Structure 1
Amino acid sequence: MSTAHVMLGLLAERPKHGYELKKEHDHRLAGAKPLAYGQVYATLQRLERDGFAEVAETQQEGGPERTMYAITGSGREELARWLNTVEPPAPYVASSLFARVAVAGRGADGYLLRQREAHLARMRELTAAKAAGPPAQVLAADFALQHLDADLRWIETALSRLKENNDA
């Protein structure tokens, strides 16, 4: 995920300040790692440096000064380019789950059984969270559930292959 592009997308709606961008990011990308405030401001500085965002105004209403940022024409072009770029399928297996099983080899069955239980517990949590969650939370839960489901199918396949190898 490109934090800069997500922030451009949030700025495309209207000018916003850093605190608002952080809160909106964390709300819309429910389930994603929350942004640190330092990351928000560093990203805004890079967007401004690259000509994708600019200071729209500075406000001070009884609190700290807030700098409002707006997307530029170049920023809109960059956002459109990013939104229209197809994400390439991951060419490599980059999962700690796979790495543990590959290293453990024939002795991975105990780990796989424990991991399956952890996946099922997380799936129950996510299913419960979907019941009363806002749309962003439901979409995030659906995304996570489908990835966990794919992991579970792979775990079952791995257990079956390990059993076949142990029986042979």
Structure 2
Amino acid sequence: MSVPMALLALLDDGPAHGFDLKRRYDALLGHGRELKYGQVYATLQRLERDGLTAGVGVEAGSGADRKLYAVTPDGVSELDTWLVSAQPISGRPAELFTRVVLALASGRSATAVLDAHRRLFLDRMRELTAARHDGDAIDRLAGDYEIAHLEADLQWIELAAARLADLSEAVR
């Protein structure tokens, strides 16, 4: 899962400091695997270094002052590309879920995310099916394994697409 992309999506609603970003991330994506504050601030510093976020002020807090971050135009462009990129996701089951939730949280089209991945998975299934004729028994079994996982992913995509209205309401 891409923590930097998640923080960019959460900043797309407006400037925020690390404390609020962590709380929102944990509420939307944590599911028992919450971010550590150190990871949030280290990621924000890298995003700022790379020109994807910018410091836009400081708010006084109950302890130390809190730096406000905002997403830059380059950060918005990077986020848009990542959400619908037609490249294989890492294979981690939560990554497509993360992209859909972040698209909804940032006011983007979750349908576009689902459609891009549906096309990607169907294309890969066609490649694997065609390759069955050339491979040996082990290659065919490995292809069958990947096809079974792609079929499950496609079922999840259809389920998510049917629930987008409810999901959108829950995320906002």
Q: TM-score, structure 2 length as denominator?
A: 0.50
Distance 2:62 2:36 in 1: 24
Aligned to 1:2: 2
2:48 partner SS: helix
Distance 1:85 1:32 in 2: 27
Question: What is the CA distance between 1:37 and its match in structure 2?
Answer: 0.4
Aligned to 2:43: 43
Distance 1:71 1:90 in 2: 25
2:51 partner SS: coil
Question: What is the CA distance between 1:32 and its match in structure 2?
Answer: 5.2
Distance 2:78 2:68 in 1: 20
Amino acid at match of 1:42: A
Aligned residues: 96
Confirm whether residue 18 of structure 1 aligns to residue 15 of structure 2.
no
Question: What is the CA distance between 1:86 and its match in structure 2?
Answer: 3.4
Question: What is the CA distance between 1:89 and its match in structure 2?
Answer: 5.9
Question: What is the CA distance between 1:63 and its match in structure 2?
Answer: 3.4
Distance 1:87 1:38 in 2: 30
Aligned to 2:56: 56
Aligned to 1:69: 69
Question: What is the CA distance between 1:22 and its match in structure 2?
Answer: 0.5
| 1:1-20 Cα shifts (integer Å, max 9, x gaps) | 10000000000011000000
Amino acid at match of 2:75: G
**Any gaps of 5 or more consecutive residues in structure 2?**
92-166
Distance 2:2 2:81 in 1: 13
Amino acid at match of 2:40: V
Correspondence 1:90-129 to 2 at 5 A? none
Distance 2:7 2:89 in 1: 24
| 1:133-161 Cα shifts (integer Å, max 9, x gaps) | xx69x99xxxxxxxxxxxxxxxxxxxxxx
Distance 1:24 1:65 in 2: 20
| Superposed structure 1 runs of 4+ greater than 4 Å apart | none
Question: What is the CA distance between 1:64 and its match in structure 2?
Answer: 2.0
Distance 2:48 2:25 in 1: 19
Distance 1:74 1:10 in 2: 15
